[in-house]
Amino acid sequence: MYLHLGQDVLVRKRDVIGIFDIETTTVERSTRDFLARAERESRVTTLTSELPRSFVLTQEQGVLRVYIGQIATATLRRRMENDMA
């Protein structure tokens, strides 16, 4: 099954490591450092030009990827739990 992240982007549910609220998690320096490193390594895909609300961490074919989007974490989690999403 797939998880729709917005902007016509789908990822396999089994590849999802975590779904994070960007406002609360980026308070920690380690999270900001991780996201900055992922950006430098071209492993970040930004799915919105608006203020982001969440980021999804995946491991696709052994490579960590970060998707930053405007969909709320609660919505993404519901989609993860729903086999129809």
pLDDT tens-digit profile of 40-59?
Answer: 999 999 999 999 999 999 99
SS3 for the chain, per residue?
CEEEEECCEEEEHHHEEEEEEHHHHCCCHHHHHHHHHHHHCCCEEECCCCCCCEEEEEEECCEEEEEEECCCHHHHHHHHHCCCC
Instruction: Indicate the domain borders of the chain.
Output: 2-81
Average pLDDT over all residues of the chain: 95
Question: Given a cut of 90, is residue 83 above it in pLDDT?
Answer: no
